[in-house]
C-alpha cells in the first residue's frame, strides 16, 4: 500500500523504518518542525524529519494540520494514513481523505490510558504489564475500534527508556502485520469498551518534582516514568538534582533516625559508600537513591555522589 506517515518523536522513528523496509511504500512523511532543545537552546532537527531525509523519503514539516496542508495532501495518491506519536490531532477533513484507512499506533492496552502520555502513566501507576494497540482513527481521540493488540510484562526495574524499547520491539512488526492483513484480506476490528476507558494528560514541568511525602513506591515509579529524560528532580543545597534510579528500601527498621526526633520527609537518613543514599518519605518509608545527576554534570552512582559532594545524614532533599 501507499502510505502517508505522521510522526514527530524518537518513538516514531523505528516504526517509520519498519514500514520503509516492508512491502509498503511511504509516499510522504508529515512531522513537527525543528525546535530548540537543551540548555544551549540549539535548534535540533525533528528525529522523524532527519530519518526521512536519510532514507530519501519526501517529508513536510508543519506546526499544525491546516486547510492548506489538507489541500496539498488531497492531491496525493495514497491508500492509508499511519500515525505514530505525531503530536497532531487529525481533523475530520483529513480523516475523510482515507475513510476507514487511518491507522494509529497507541502504546497502551486501550481503552486504558487514552491521551498524550500513556507510557509515563503506565509506569506512574506501577503496572506490571503494558501493550500496543493498532487502532482505527476516529474524530474522538484514541476511541476508535481496535485492529490488533499485543501485551507483555513490565519488569520492576524497567524505566521509560526500557519500556519504550519494548513497545518498539513489539509494536513495529505488529503494525506491519496489521497493514499486510488490511491490504490482503481486510482486518476485522473490535470496538473499545468506553466505560473501561481511562485518560492521561499532558505532563507539566511541576509534575517532575519529587514530593517526599509520597509513598516509597510512588516516588520510585515517578523516577522510572521520567528516566532518563527529562528526569524527575529534587532540590538540595539550592541545586536541582535529578534522580534517575531509585528503589524501595525494604529494611527500614535498620535505618531509623538516632536523633531522638521524628525526621521530616526528604531527610537523608544515611549517606555512605555501602548503603548509598537513604531518604525518608511518606508512610514512614525509605527510598534508596541509586543514580543521580547534578546540574551540568554526568550521571553518577549514589556512592560517587556521596564522595564527590560530601553528603551528610540529616541534610534535606526538598
Please give the Cα distance from 183 to 186 (Å, whole number).
Answer: 6
φ and ψ at residue 73, rounded to 5 degrees:
-65, -35
CATH fold of 2-196 reads Rossmann fold (3.40.50)
Instruction: Return all residues near 175 (Cβ < 8 A) that are at least 6 apart.
Output: 15, 18, 19, 82, 84, 103, 105, 134
* Tens digit of each residue's pLDDT (9 = 90 or more) over 209-243: 999 999 999 999 999 999 999 999 999 999 999 99
Class of the 205-309 domain?
Answer: alpha beta
132 grid coordinates: 500496543
Please give the Cα distance from 26 to 59 (Å, whole number).
Answer: 10
How do beta strands 25-31 and 2-7 pair?
parallel
pLDDT at 254: 52
pLDDT at 255: 54
pLDDT at 100: 87
pLDDT at 40: 62
φ and ψ at residue 245, rounded to 5 degrees:
-155, 135
In a structure prediction context, what are the per-residue pLDDT tens digits for the chain, which is 318 residues long? 999 999 999 999 999 999 999 999 999 999 999 886 666 667 888 999 999 999 999 999 999 999 999 999 999 999 999 999 999 999 999 999 998 899 999 999 999 999 999 999 999 999 999 999 999 999 999 999 999 999 999 999 999 999 999 999 999 999 999 999 999 988 899 999 999 999 999 999 999 999 999 999 999 999 999 999 999 999 999 999 999 999 999 875 555 554 445 789 999 999 988 888 999 999 999 999 999 999 999 999 999 999 999 999 999 999
Please give the Cα distance from 305 to 295 (Å, whole number).
Answer: 13
41 grid coordinates: 537552546
Specify the pTM: 0.93
Q: Is 310 left (phi over 0), alpha (psi -120 to 50) or beta?
A: left
How do beta strands 102-106 and 80-84 pair?
parallel
* Tens digit of each residue's pLDDT (9 = 90 or more) over 171-201: 999 999 999 999 998 889 999 999 999 999 9
Number of other residues whose CB lies within 10 A of the CB of residue 38: 7
- Measured in Å, how far apart are the chain's first and last C-alpha atoms? 54
Name the residue ranges covered by the structural domains of the chain.
Answer: 2-196, 205-309
Contact 56, 75 (CB under 8 A): no
C-alpha triplet 59, 179, 71: angle, nearest 5°: 40
pLDDT at 259: 47
pLDDT at 260: 45
Contact 78, 102 (CB under 8 A): no
Amino acid at each position: 500500500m501507499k502510505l502517508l506517515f505522521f510522526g514527530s518523536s524518537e518513538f516514531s522513528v523505528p516504526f517509520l523504518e519498519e514500514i520503509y523496509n516492508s512491502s509498503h511504500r511511504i509516499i510522504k512523511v508529515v512531522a513537527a518542525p525543528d525546535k530548540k532543545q537543551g540548555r544551549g537552546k540549539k535548534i535540533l532537527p525533528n528525529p522523524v524529519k532527519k530519518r526521512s531525509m536519510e532514507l530519501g523519503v519526501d517529508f513536510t514539516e508543519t506546526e499544525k494540520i491546516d486547510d492548506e496542508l489538507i489541500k496539498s495532501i488531497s492531491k496525493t495518491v495514497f491508500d492509508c494514513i499511519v500515525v505514530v506519536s505525531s503530536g497532531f490531532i487529525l481533523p475530520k477533513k483529513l480523516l475523510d481523505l482515507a475513510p476507514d484507512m487511518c491507522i494509529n499506533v497507541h502504546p497502551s492496552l486501550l481503552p486504558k490510558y487514552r491521551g498524550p502520555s500513556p507510557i509515563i502513566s503506565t509506569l506512574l501507576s506501577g503496572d506490571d504489564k503494558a501493550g500496543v494497540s493498532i487502532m482505527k482513527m476516529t474524530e474522538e481521540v484514541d476511541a476508535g475500534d481496535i485492529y490488533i493488540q499485543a501485551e507483555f510484562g513490565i519488569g520492576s526495574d524497567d524505566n521509560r527508556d526500557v519500556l519504550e524499547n519494548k513497545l518498539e520491539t513489539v509494536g513495529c512488526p505488529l503494525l506491519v502485520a496489521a497493514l499486510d492483513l488490511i491490504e490482503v484480506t481486510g482486518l476485522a476490528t473490535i470496538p473499545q469498551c468506553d466505560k473501561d476507558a481511562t485518560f492521561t494528560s499532558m505532563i507539566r514541568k511541576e509534575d517532575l518534582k519529587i514530593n517526599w511525602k509520597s509513598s516509597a513506591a510512588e516516588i520510585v515509579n515517578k523516577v522510572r516514568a521520567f528516566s532518563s529524560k527529562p528526569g524527575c528532580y529534587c532540590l538540595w543545597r539550592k541545586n536541582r538534582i535529578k534522580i534517575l534510579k531509585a528503589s524501595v528500601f525494604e529494611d527500614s527498621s535498620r535505618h531509623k533516625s538516632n536523633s531522638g526526633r521524628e525526621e521530616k520527609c526528604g531527610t537523608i537518613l544515611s549517606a555512605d559508600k555501602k548503603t548509598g543514599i537513604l531518604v525518608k518519605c511518606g508512610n514512614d518509608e525509605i527510598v534508596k537513591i541509586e543514580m543521580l545527576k547534578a546540574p551540568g554534570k554526568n550521571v553518577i552512582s549514589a556512592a560517587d555522589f556521596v564522595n564527590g559532594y560530601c553528603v551528610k545524614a540529616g541534610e534535606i532533599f526538598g
